[in-house]
Chain A
């Protein structure tokens, strides 16, 4: 497959005009940083508001609640791992030559998060909480998750998403998981089924919005 600078191949002739146009619009481009560096960059920026909120949270109370309930610990580990792996999968999905199966990376941690949360909420101590408290949780996840998701979308725009809905959905999941992880510090009541359902709704809303707006957000600059 030698490169021929002089004579175009016969198959290229019908596309000569497009090739000319593309060559005319060629400008130097800067390659995006490594996926690991981009993911760490997002995590560091996300950690700032997380650390700020942790400073005003009742950390001692949160730790004692987690110490008394292994399901809470597993759910927290699951949500943090989901945020990390979903962000990594979203970034890898913007590199065309990476295996699309990387999109399954957050599946195990998501399963752990859901399993531990359901197990905790199903336990005897999981009495329903008031609707206003549950709605406050949803507001917290959405309020913190939307800027997290927009930040990740800005990072993803350095790449090129062949499946923008998938990348957007993963970005939404990562942002919602990160927000839910921070929420764990401010959650002064045991998990209840209605609370869990609204948490799941908030996560699904963010992931769904990411998938729905993925094309618009990730292709706008393309």
Chain B
């Protein structure tokens, strides 16, 4: 799956920076994350945790009480997804990203505790972007709606917390060359802003 995604934009002679595609393995180190740049294509390998609205609310409550989280955050990656149920014999159903903005309230606290990356789709708030700069984290976008394609890169899946939340439970996934693109890097780069700058027509 390493082909695809040219991150070079020659249009209007603007922003012509060639960024190498990179294969990352979790847990992510500070160095790995700080070397990433907005627009760079990445392929994730290793363990990734899922979490969306209801699970984040619970994680925030636990942190407020000073209790232990269901998984260690240091160097980890949270994928904002609520998968569809697996048909018999399959590892997981479809598993594309959900809108990240709904988790913005919770994300800065998680980056502060060592979370290194989140994966979703859509814009992050200024608070999350500044938390990523401060605590050296990144935000990656997966292709919204490419859920059947993405599920092929998920090799193991099991619920590790809050099974009663159904699709909102926290899963521990093992992924192989999970395709994503860096939207926000640790220097404040934002691919969504860049894209509009290049392709909008006055």
A and B assemble together: no
Chain B residues at the A interface, C-beta cutoff of 8 Å: none
Chain A residues at the B interface, C-beta cutoff of 8 Å: none
